A = this chain, B = another copy of it.
Amino acid sequence: MSFEFQIESTSNRARAGRLITAHGEIETPVFMPVGTLASVKGVPQDTLEELGVQILLGNTYHLYLRPGVETVRKLGGLHGFMSWPRAILTDSGGFQVFSLNALRKVTEEGVTFRSHLDGGSHFLSPESAMAAQIGLGADIIMAFDECTEFPADRARAQASMEMTLRWSERSKKYFEEHKQEVPWSSCQLSALSHQQTQVPRFARNDKQEAARNDRNDQKEEGHATQALFGIVQGGMDLDLRKESALRTIEIGFPGYAIGGLSVGEPRNLTREVVEATLQHLPADKPRYLMGVGTPEEIVEYARLGVDMMDCVLPTRAARHGLLFTSEGRVSIKQARYAQDQGPLDPNCGCRVCRRYSRAYLRHLYASNEVLAQVLNTIHNLSFYLDTMRRVRHSIRLGEESRFF
């Protein structure tokens, strides 16, 4: 099997386990850093490995526009292209089409939209979104959905949910018929073997080599494919969420995401919808809450039984000088840090907190130095990953109270 989910410990509703993918194992609950354009902005891949990142998220919409799916596919998929041997998840492109395109046109067939880069016209359907995600070759890919806007009345939320359900079926159908076309599948590997021998030795490091050997092992077994997850929609209506969950499960996926949240609704409503929806998702399949959240929220949702989360918050906030620490938020641009010799977070062991003072980080930010973004992003990711590491540890020890 190229995809598997094992639950190893539970503590009330929280679960600790592992996802097994063609590109390595992922301990859950997991926070997935966002690498929109095949890069976590400012952070080299070896630093991400050092931080313990086991899975990255890539954005299909952005990669589809730049450098284009065909380029990535020819270069071995996202793993080969960005030289990242560990697991990757891509979203369906649906969320960006909706959030970045005021002039989109939605029909039963799909969505026509204009590129935010050059205004060029593009069309994404369940089929073309699947083709794109197969070409990008992430380990986990997402059904093409309509992200219902907020606020939406019940009729609108229902119609949108029905559309997502029809698109989910079409996504699954296309995926089942084409999943062997992933760049690292057994037949693709054979077809590409001529090209691969031409890759100069320096372009692959030892880890990539190991990953490639892993894939070759799987090739012999002939099983390596991506996993397609379904997405539950239904707006903020709990009955619709239940119906969406049950009918998505009926279609059948190896994992289920909760979409359509963090779209402007109040935080307590997000939580209510998540909690209600989780009740209807199968206990033995991974549950992915999309686009969430703050450090407090990721702990809270892990407690409720979510296994996977992603959010631009740690990386985007870092670029704006907002840093998460064990002692609370630090806005490093403030003059009060100009002569502060202490580390950013005295309880953090990341390479930034081990080496640099708040005064230096403040100077880099105030001087608009690129290193500010690099170091701030490394720290914020380290804080998020450490948080989830402690959550997993607490679940395994059954010491729920320590963290929850």
Interface positions of A (Cβ within 8 A of B)? 37-39, 41-46, 66-67, 71, 74-75, 81-83, 195, 198-200, 202-203, 205, 208, 338-339, 341-343, 346, 348-349, 351, 353-357, 359-360, 363-364, 366-367, 369-371, 373-375
Whether B370 and A42, one on each chain, are in contact in the complex, defined by CB atoms closer than 8 angstroms, is yes
Whether B343 and A203, one on each chain, are in contact in the complex, defined by CB atoms closer than 8 angstroms, is yes
Whether B37 and A343, one on each chain, are in contact in the complex, defined by CB atoms closer than 8 angstroms, is no
The count of identical subunits is 2
- With A44-B371, A44-B375, A199-B341 as given contacts, are A66 and B363 in contact (CB-CB < 8 Å)? yes
- With A341-B199, A354-B205 as given contacts, are A363 and B46 in contact (CB-CB < 8 Å)? no
Taking the closest CB of chain B, its distance from the CB of A69, in whole angstroms, is 13
Taking the closest CB of chain B, its distance from the CB of A376, in whole angstroms, is 11
Please measure, in the bound complex, the distance between the C-alpha atom of A267 and the C-alpha atom of B296, giving whole angstroms.
60
Taking the closest CB of chain B, its distance from the CB of A360, in whole angstroms, is 6
Whether B42 and A338, one on each chain, are in contact in the complex, defined by CB atoms closer than 8 angstroms, is no
Please measure, in the bound complex, the distance between the C-alpha atom of A357 and the C-alpha atom of B78, giving whole angstroms.
12
Taking the closest CB of chain B, its distance from the CB of A83, in whole angstroms, is 5
Please measure, in the bound complex, the distance between the C-alpha atom of A366 and the C-alpha atom of B37, giving whole angstroms.
11
Whether B367 and A66, one on each chain, are in contact in the complex, defined by CB atoms closer than 8 angstroms, is yes
In the complex, what residues of B have CB within 8 A of residue A198's CB? 341
Whether A373 and B370, one on each chain, are in contact in the complex, defined by CB atoms closer than 8 angstroms, is yes
Please measure, in the bound complex, the distance between the C-alpha atom of A374 and the C-alpha atom of B82, giving whole angstroms.
15
Taking the closest CB of chain B, its distance from the CB of A349, in whole angstroms, is 8
Whether B341 and A203, one on each chain, are in contact in the complex, defined by CB atoms closer than 8 angstroms, is yes
- With A42-B374, A44-B374, A355-B205 as given contacts, are A200 and B343 in contact (CB-CB < 8 Å)? yes
